[in-house]
Every structure is written in C-alpha cells, then in structure tokens.
Structure 1
Amino acid sequence: MFKIVLLISIVLTFSRACDENNGEEQLAIARQQSDEYFASAFGYTPDSWNHLYYPNSRLPSGYFNQYEGRTPSGSSMDGIDPYNTHSVNGEVKSDQQGVGRLALGGLGASLINTGIFNHRFTPANTWRPFSNFANRIPISYNPNFDNPLDTFDACTSPNGDAGICVPGSVCSLFGGRPSSSCVLGKVCCVNTISTCGGTVTLNNTYWQSPTTAVSASSTCAITLRLDTKYVEQLKKPICQIRLDFVSFTTAQPTAGTCVDTFQVSGTTTVAPVICGDNAGQHMYLDVPSSALTSTDVQLMFNFGAATTTRSWNIKIAMLPCGASYLAPTDCLQYFTAATGKVKSFNWQDVASTTTRQLNNQKYNICFRTELVSGSRATQMCVSICTVTNGGDAFYITTPAAVVTGATTFLTVVTTTPVATSQSNVGTTVSSTGNPAFVVATCLYDFLQIASGQDATTGVEADRFCGNQLNPATGANLLNPGLTTSTQVCTSIRPFRMTFKTDGTEAAISIATPPTVPAVAGADAANTGFCLDYQEK
C-alpha cells in the first residue's frame, strides 16, 4: 500500500510540475505577444504588468462606470509619441495612425477582455489566464486625490505658477515649460498660450495676451476643448472650469456699458460680460460632463475703438466631475475660506468720477460653510472694505429722490440734488407729489443678502443699494437711508449673495409694468462694492 501511495504521489507531482512549466511558458508567450501587439499597433510598449495600473480604491459617486477616465501610471514614454490627439502651442495635433488608441487610458476593461488577451491566442488554445482580469480587480479613480504617481496631476512651480506633472518629453510635446521636479523623474510643466485662436486641452493652462500690442477694433479668442478622447483628459472627466484672472486690464466702460468686452460661451453657466480692471477675480463655469459629451468653451475678447492698454493673464483650471472642491450649481464665484474679500467686477480702490459699476450683471456669489473654532459657522457677516486711494467701497445706484409738489418725475431728478452718501434698501417708495410716482430704490441695481441684519441693532433688510451698506431706513423721502455703513450678518445657509444691475445708468422716466415697474433717477459714478466677509 505504501508503494502504491508513493507512486501516485510521484506521478501527481510530476504532472503538476509539467502543468506549471507549461503555464509559465504560455504566460511568457502571452506577455511577448501582447508587447508585440502594442509595439506594432501603437508604436510603444506600455508597462502593462505594473501593479500600479490597477489601483484598488472606492468608486466615487456620479461616475459613468468604474473604468471611466483611467490612465496608466508610472509608465515610461521617453522618446516616443503615444499622444495621437493633443494640443501643441494652442493647436490640436493628431496622428492618423491608431486614432483614439488611448481612449481608455491604457488597458481598459474591453481592451483587456476582448482587445488583446482573448484574441491574441489561437482558437485551439483555450487557456486565457487574463480573460476576466479586469472584472476581478476593481478599477476606479478618486477625483479628490491627486496621485503623484499619475500623469497630468496638478503641481505648483517655485514661483507659484500652477502646472501638471508629466515626463519631460511630454512637457516638450505640449509646448510647456519645465519649472521644477515631480516624483518618478517627472517635471512640473507650466503651459502658457499667448496667441489668439488657439485650443486648450491641458489643465492649468495660462492664457496670456500676445507680446505684440493688441490693436483696437479687433477680436482675440481661444477654445477650451473638453473631450475624453484626449489623453490629457481621459483620467478625469471635466464638469467645471475655473478662470482665475491673474491680470486683466481693458478699456473702462462708458456709463456702465463695456467698450471692450470679455465673454464666455459654451457653458451652462451664464457668465456676465465684463471689462475694465479685474485682476484677482475668478469665475466658476459649469459644463456638461466630458465623459458623456464633448464640449467646446470659448473665451473671447472684443476690443472697441478706444486707445488703451489691453493685457491679461488668465489661468484655466479644468475641474473633474465628483470633486469635493467644485462650486455649487449657479455660483459664478465661490469662496472657500472663513474670511476674505469679495468685490464686484471692475471695482478698484481709485478715485473716479465715472461709472465703474458694470451694466447687465446678474450672478450669485457663494461661500462654503467653514469650521470656526471646530464647529460649522452659523452666520456670515460683511462690512465695507477700507479704502486708502480715494475709492468708494460701496456705491450701487443713486438713492431715490422724491419731492412733494413736483409735476413730473423729470423735474424731480433734474432740479433736486441727491445726497449720495446715504444708504438705501427695499425696492420702491411712493411719492406724494402731484401726480404721485412709484420710485424705484433697490429695484434695478442691488446687492441681495437674504435676511441681512444689522449686527448691532438687528434691523433687517434683504436688498441693499445706495452709497452705504445699512439695512435701516431714513427719516423721510428726501433721506431714504443713513449716512453710515454697518456690519450686516445673515444666518441663512448656504451663505450666498446675488448681485444684479440693469442695462442703463440713465434715468427711467416712464414706467411700463411689469418689465419696468417704476421710474428711477439717473445714476452717477457708481463704483460697485468691495466687502470684507467673515464667517462666525
């Protein structure tokens, strides 16, 4: 019996050894054939056996599928050009061979299961050890975590410029400037475009004004192309764009209407037309997920006949779907600190006798609820900024002026000077003249703060205009508000404000309800607002 058992054991061991040797040989053949496949079809061999290719992380909510936007990490591509579709110096380049060859970011599920391993073996050989490999190992991407092992993740250069981590050859391919080092021998690549008519596909791209002076009566525009067929975007489908105006100088408006215009098209967010001085401002722009549809967003300057200096430097950040740092829907501006400063477009601390406030503004300014002393803030307070150069920190619409006994509204606005140092609240006020008029106060131009209360007295209002920020009302029609500003607080969360202006600074002498519900006096030298905010 012992001999029989020993013999069976020897036979089984020998058989298993043969099977293992055969398996190793077939594995080696499979690796060689897959490498040959990539070398022939794509022009390079990926590091497809690197365990970093298959990160095991939790799938974020809202993604189309678990393989959406994957890209290879840690693979060496120096000296080769795997980027069949990309943007170089603002122009889209395309290799005709193997168009879309990286559409799944390397070895996607269908490529693993059907594109290589299942069909790289003869029909007679049914041994396919990797046929379900992608299904056994979950593959996902967390948009809130920049993995330093991945390509195209954000980085910051020593001088503060934003860039992306890529191999040096890839930085050169996209026309970028290496500024510092990232992990695994990569560089922090800063991409800058200084032309009109280019195309941007890279995150953290700077669009600068051309080196030659921009002439009057001309147009300068670029296109932001959001599409997961580009290798630089396929790991992170894009749902939002943030524009940071590092510098921005164009002609000043005429009576609030822009002579030079900057406008955005192609986004679901309706951004207002702006001009003037806007350094330090920003915009968040919602776009449809680039995993579902490709989108072209256009940024355009139109320059009028005025002779003035035009220059700009706009940082373009592409924010991935599902990221925790996306702005809430319908928020053109979003502030994520417990304290800070918020300004209307074109507000500056400069003495001016002309209107700096822009017409046709309508947007929401939102504030993330921050932790204050370890707890979520329960209120947000705003107060006017301190000015040192002759600017006006709050001036939205000349306070209403109504004189009893006047026969026409035009007589009121032309013969009665208005004290421009008063606040104003509400929407309309009724005169007692002959005839009587319903006169607009904060109806056409206003800053709205829901349940805004005086931090000291508790007096409440929700619409603010005039030359002071104060919810209190004045003593009579000639004095509609107070001559001092106060701190205004709201406990309505999420914290937000709405800024709205109409299309004119001229007097509205004829009311045509419902579109023009009340007459209004002419505005003069409106500046907009600058507010310090604090969450408590």
Structure 2
Amino acid sequence: MVILDASDECHIALFDFSGASVTRQFDIKVTQYACGDETGGPDGCLQYFTGIAGTLASFNFPTEAATLSSTVTHLSNQCYTICFRQEHDKCGICFTPVNDGTIAPGSFGLSISSDAASATGVQDSKCSEDYLQIPGAERGSTFEVGSTSAIFHSRICGRFFTHSDASGVGGTDNSESICTQRRPFRIHFKTDANENTLTEDEADMNEQVLAPGGILGFNLNYALQDC
C-alpha cells in the first residue's frame, strides 16, 4: 500500500506501460483519509506501518516466492520515506532480513560490493546510488535503548544488510539486525536510474557479479523495542 499526501486540487494517476502487449492492466483500490486521521500516516510518508512488528519490502520484491531468480530487480528512480508508528512504551526499532541467506540468495541486495572479489555489505559514503537510509543506525548485537553508541551509520547498501565498526565497509552475512532509537521511526529508500551491470567481472563494478546480487532490493522484518 502507498499513501500520498493530498490537497484540495484534483489528483490524476498516470501509468506508462512499455512494449506492445495489450494484456497489461491494473486494479487499484483508493481510500481517502480525513485530514488529521492517523490512519493515513504523517506527512511525507509513502508507506506507514503500525503495530509492534511486521515486514516491509521494496516494490517489485516477490515476497511470497519460495526462492528468488537471478532476474529479480528492484525499481529504479525510487526516493521515498517509510514510516512506523511509535507504539506505547516502545522507544526503538530493529530490522532484520526476512531471509538471512539460508535460502539463497537472501532478501537484501542493493548496489555494488566494496570488494572486487567478494560480496560484502557497504555503508555510508560508499552508498551513493542505491541504498536504505536508517537515521542513527546501530549494530543490533550491542544496541540498547537509552544508551548512546559510539558508532552510528546511516546509509546501508551492498550485498548484505550489515552494520560494521569499520568505516564504510559492512559484513559478509545477514545474521545481525540493525536498530535505531532515532524518532520518529522513519527510513528512506533511494535508487538511481540504472543498475551497474557492466562487462567487468568484479563485484565492485557489476551488481550481478557474485551472490547475493545488488539488484534484489529488500524484504525486512521490523520489531519495535521496549523503552
């Protein structure tokens, strides 16, 4: 579901289907929320989640599929905010991949690796094209609500959803959660217009080299944390 901020003006939905096929179609349910209705979420939130736990995914991610093919690709030119309601007595939020890689290729892959010969997670300044931005992100294994971590990251990308002490470079698996106590609970998703799938056979130049690929997008669990 997507939520759009509205005004008193007319709103027009435009769709552009490429190719010559005449079978493409759409079926959209539209719900309008009164001004001030919390159900519609805060201003600027394209998606709004309530409850203490749930899942979220990038558009085009096949969340119901048992396995993912190598052609699964997130949408290009995305730039939107995902918001989470702060429930009673909850002061933090943690994210983990739905599939940690036990079933290949896992459920996270955005952009290139930091290493030419191996798939790695990437953070912060090295995430400039496709990334998730989690303000005040901390490593889940050391996260504690009310305590201040010495290490914060914001942008998360690469082949694994990881948080590392090393500057820029993340880990090489999806075994750890990433948490934040920055409120309001919001994350941002950004992708550019193209995928790096050049002829080079190095993971830091080609998003399709090595697994998991950097074209997947994401499918994550979230869970609010007690104060």
Query: TM-score, normalization: structure 2?
Result: 0.79
**Is 1:385 matched up with 2:90?**
no
Whichever residue aligns with residue 173 of structure 2, its letter is T
2: CA distance between counterparts of 1:481 and 1:308?
45
Indicate which of 369, 375, 382 corresponds to 2:86: 369
1: CA distance between counterparts of 2:98 and 2:205?
27
Residue 79 of structure 2 contacts residue 188 of structure 2 at CA under 8 Å; is this kept in 1? yes
- Mark the CA change 1:309 to 1:342 in structure 2 (over 3 Å): closer, same or farther: farther
> Which residue is equivalent to 2:186?
496
**Is 1:532 matched up with 2:221?**
yes
Indicate which of 417, 423, 426 corresponds to 2:121: 423
Deviation (angstroms), 1:473:
5.1
1:401-449, Cα deviation, whole Å (9 max, x unpaired): 4xxxxxxxxxxxxxxx5322x211121xxxxxxxxxxxxx211111011
**Is 1:521 matched up with 2:205?**
yes
2: CA distance between counterparts of 1:357 and 1:473?
28
> Which residue is equivalent to 2:73?
356
- Mark the CA change 1:343 to 1:306 in structure 2 (over 3 Å): closer, same or farther: farther
Larger radius of gyration: 1
1: CA distance between counterparts of 2:27 and 2:74?
22
1:165-212, Cα deviation, whole Å (9 max, x unpaired): xxxxxxxxxxxxxxxxxxxxxxxxxxxxxxxxxxxxxxxxxxxxxxxx
Deviation (angstroms), 1:474:
5.7
Q: What percent of counterpart residues are identical?
A: 31
Residue 52 of structure 2 contacts residue 87 of structure 2 at CA under 8 Å; is this kept in 1? yes
> Which residue is equivalent to 2:173?
484
> Which residue is equivalent to 1:304?
18
Deviation (angstroms), 1:389:
6.7
- Mark the CA change 1:309 to 1:460 in structure 2 (over 3 Å): closer, same or farther: farther
- Mark the CA change 1:309 to 1:489 in structure 2 (over 3 Å): closer, same or farther: farther
Whichever residue aligns with residue 381 of structure 1, its letter is C
Indicate which of 286, 291, 296 corresponds to 2:5: 286
1: CA distance between counterparts of 2:20 and 2:104?
25
Whichever residue aligns with residue 182 of structure 2, its letter is I
- SS at the partner of 1:320? coil
2: CA distance between counterparts of 1:388 and 1:344?
20
Give the number of the structure whose residues are more often helix, by fraction. 1
1:34-54, Cα deviation, whole Å (9 max, x unpaired): xxxxxxxxxxxxxxxxxxxxx
Residue 425 of structure 1 contacts residue 471 of structure 1 at CA under 8 Å; is this kept in 2? yes
- Mark the CA change 1:326 to 1:381 in structure 2 (over 3 Å): closer, same or farther: same
Residue 473 of structure 1 contacts residue 482 of structure 1 at CA under 8 Å; is this kept in 2? no
1:190-246, Cα deviation, whole Å (9 max, x unpaired): xxxxxxxxxxxxxxxxxxxxxxxxxxxxxxxxxxxxxxxxxxxxxxxxxxxxxxxxx
Residue 423 of structure 1 contacts residue 481 of structure 1 at CA under 8 Å; is this kept in 2? yes
- Mark the CA change 1:391 to 1:399 in structure 2 (over 3 Å): closer, same or farther: closer
1: CA distance between counterparts of 2:47 and 2:163?
24
Residue 108 of structure 2 contacts residue 161 of structure 2 at CA under 8 Å; is this kept in 1? yes
- Mark the CA change 1:469 to 1:308 in structure 2 (over 3 Å): closer, same or farther: farther
2: CA distance between counterparts of 1:297 and 1:354?
34
Indicate which of 438, 447, 454 corresponds to 2:132: 447
**CA RMSD for the aligned pairs?**
2.6
2: CA distance between counterparts of 1:470 and 1:306?
42
2: CA distance between counterparts of 1:399 and 1:457?
25
2: CA distance between counterparts of 1:482 and 1:507?
22
> Which residue is equivalent to 2:148?
none
Query: TM-score, normalization: structure 1?
Result: 0.35
Residue 424 of structure 1 contacts residue 464 of structure 1 at CA under 8 Å; is this kept in 2? yes
Q: How does 1:63-78 map to 2 (within 5 A)?
A: none
Whichever residue aligns with residue 134 of structure 2, its letter is I
2: CA distance between counterparts of 1:505 and 1:498?
19
**Is 1:345 matched up with 2:59?**
yes
**Is 1:467 matched up with 2:122?**
no
Deviation (angstroms), 1:481:
2.9
Residue 424 of structure 1 contacts residue 473 of structure 1 at CA under 8 Å; is this kept in 2? no
Deviation (angstroms), 1:301:
2.5
Indicate which of 309, 323, 331 corresponds to 2:45: 331
Structure 1 residue ranges without an equivalent (≥5): 1-281, 402-416, 428-440, 509-519
Residue 356 of structure 1 contacts residue 528 of structure 1 at CA under 8 Å; is this kept in 2? yes
> Which residue is equivalent to 1:20?
none
- Mark the CA change 1:307 to 1:391 in structure 2 (over 3 Å): closer, same or farther: farther
1: CA distance between counterparts of 2:103 and 2:177?
22
Residue 460 of structure 1 contacts residue 472 of structure 1 at CA under 8 Å; is this kept in 2? no
1: CA distance between counterparts of 2:216 and 2:72?
6
